[in-house]
Amino acid sequence: MDIPQNAFIAMLVVLTVLVIATIIQFLLKLKNPENDYHELYQRIMSWWWIIGLLFLFLAISTNAAIIFFAFLSFLALKEFISIVETRQTDRNAVFWLYLSIPLQYYWVASGWYGMFIIFIPVYIFLLIPVRMVLKGETEGFIKSAGVLHWSAMLTIFSISHVAYLLVLPEKNTLAGGVGLVLFLLFMTQFNDVSQYVWGKLFGKHKIIPKVSPNKTWQGFLGGMFTITLLASIVAPHLTPLSQIEGMVAGILISISGFFGDVVISSVKRDLNIKDSGNLIPGHGGILDRMDSLIYTAPIFFHYIYSLYY
pLDDT tens series, the chain, 309 aa: 678 999 999 999 999 989 998 898 888 788 877 777 676 677 788 888 889 999 999 999 999 999 999 999 999 999 999 888 888 888 889 999 999 999 999 999 999 999 999 999 999 999 999 999 988 788 889 999 999 999 999 999 999 999 999 999 989 889 999 999 999 999 999 898 889 889 888 888 899 888 888 889 999 999 999 999 999 999 999 999 999 999 999 999 999 999 999 998 888 888 888 877 677 666 678 888 888 999 999 999 999 999 998
Domain containing residue 104: 65-167
Assigned domain for 151 exists: yes
Q: What total of structural domains would you count in the chain?
A: 1
Question: Residue 139 class from Cβ within 10 Å (0-12 exposed, 13-18 middle, 19+ buried)?
Answer: exposed
Length of the chain counted residue by residue: 309
Assigned domain for 138 exists: yes
Assigned domain for 268 exists: no
Round to whole Å and give the CA distance between 5 and 175: 6
User: Do the beta carbons of residue 281 and residue 226 sit within 8 Å?
Assistant: no
Round to whole Å and give the CA distance between 171 and 41: 39
User: Do the beta carbons of residue 197 and residue 216 sit within 8 Å?
Assistant: no
Round to whole Å and give the CA distance between 219 and 183: 22
In this prediction the pTM is: 0.92
Predicted confidence at residue 127, as pLDDT, reads 94
User: Do the beta carbons of residue 77 and residue 98 sit within 8 Å?
Assistant: yes
Assigned domain for 283 exists: no
Assigned domain for 249 exists: no
Assigned domain for 219 exists: no
8-13-16 Cα angle (round to 5): 125
**Of 151, 147, 64, residue with least CA distance to 101:** 151
Assigned domain for 85 exists: yes
Round to whole Å and give the CA distance between 198 and 223: 7
Predicted confidence at residue 37, as pLDDT, reads 66
Assigned domain for 42 exists: no
